[in-house]
Amino acid sequence: MKSTIEQVESLDLSLFEKIGSETSTEDRRSLLAVQRATTRRHKRYVYLEIGSHLGGSIQPHLVDPRCSRIYSIDPRPSQQLDDRRELRVCNYENNSTERMIELLRVIAPNEVSKIQCFDNDASELDPSQLMDRPQIALIDGEHTQKAALSDFRFCNKVINNDGTIVFHDFGIIFPAIRKICNALDEKNLKYIPLKLEGSVFAIFFDAETVRSDPYLMSLYILHKNLLLYYPLIHRLKSILPISVWLKLKYYYNLWIRSRMKNNNQSL
């Protein structure tokens, strides 16, 4: 049986299988790749998550012995605004921190003590409430431009200098991500913006984290200018019938995988 470290090294998606998560296969591979690259650069790391629901995206970090602390920020509303739904509302029934902790306890009873939860919006927290600076922060709370910008502001205050801020649902919040990148450029800050597989986007403040991982490097080569042409893709999505769009997406994913395999990258 493989150890958790070996599972992370081989981007083993079964690390996500015990608790449901609103993430696709591609999203999970991307999230694991960030975890793998981070552990190649740091012996130990701290994980911050904004928007945790059942703990699905926390589970690979809970079982990773190199993850020393997990911060989960989630005010647990039963309904939240969402830029993708027609009525702009998304329901989360029985959404509670207690329920998440119980689900995570089943996976690793001795590890749940490393989780610290805040039932607040990140903007209500004082950054000093996080004793350790995270190396990875995942933003997956309210899926609106306003919330993504506000959550990024918080993460940017607390993230380690060489950390990575990851966004889920890139397709919905990409205008906010473009604003964030423009603001970082104006300040002449060094970072690598990278669209990963699925709907994951990451801002790496340490270029070596990307370079240390051939999988991330090959995505970087394929997606280097994606932020520039993404509005066109988004426009295409809004005018094409959904069945055509899904087919195009399917073939694009196949193409990406084959390009990466041809590059002889370790997946």
Contact footprint for ligand SAM (CB under 6 A): 21-23, 50-54, 56-57, 73-77, 80, 92, 95, 121-122, 140-142, 147
Q: Which is nearer to ligand SAM, 60 or 163 (CB)?
A: 60
Nearest distance from C-beta of residue 214 to ligand SAM, angstroms: 26
Cβ burial, residue 123 (10 Å; 0-12/13-18/19+): exposed
Nearest distance from C-beta of residue 218 to ligand SAM, angstroms: 25
Q: Which is nearer to ligand SAM, 55 or 193 (CB)?
A: 55
Kindly state the tokens that stand for 29. 């591979």
Q: How many C-beta atoms surround the C-beta of residue 267 within 10 A?
A: 12
Q: Which is nearer to ligand SAM, 73 or 136 (CB)?
A: 73
Nearest distance from C-beta of residue 52 to ligand SAM, angstroms: 5
Q: Which is nearer to ligand SAM, 74 or 206 (CB)?
A: 74
- Pairwise CA distance, residues 14 & 219, whole Å: 22
Nearest distance from C-beta of residue 127 to ligand SAM, angstroms: 15
Phi (first) and psi of residue 187, to 5 degrees: -90, 5
Q: With the C-alpha atoms ordered 210, 19, 169, 12, is the resulting torsion angle positive or negative?
A: positive
Answer yes or no: are the C-beta atoms of 133 and 72 closer than 8 Å: no
Kindly state the tokens that stand for 105. 């306890």
Nearest distance from C-beta of residue 153 to ligand SAM, angstroms: 13
Q: Which is nearer to ligand SAM, 155 or 260 (CB)?
A: 155
Q: How many C-beta atoms surround the C-beta of residue 40 within 10 A?
A: 14
Q: Which is nearer to ligand SAM, 21 or 218 (CB)?
A: 21
Kindly state the tokens that stand for 224. 């280097």
Nearest distance from C-beta of residue 255 to ligand SAM, angstroms: 26
- Pairwise CA distance, residues 108 & 240, whole Å: 45
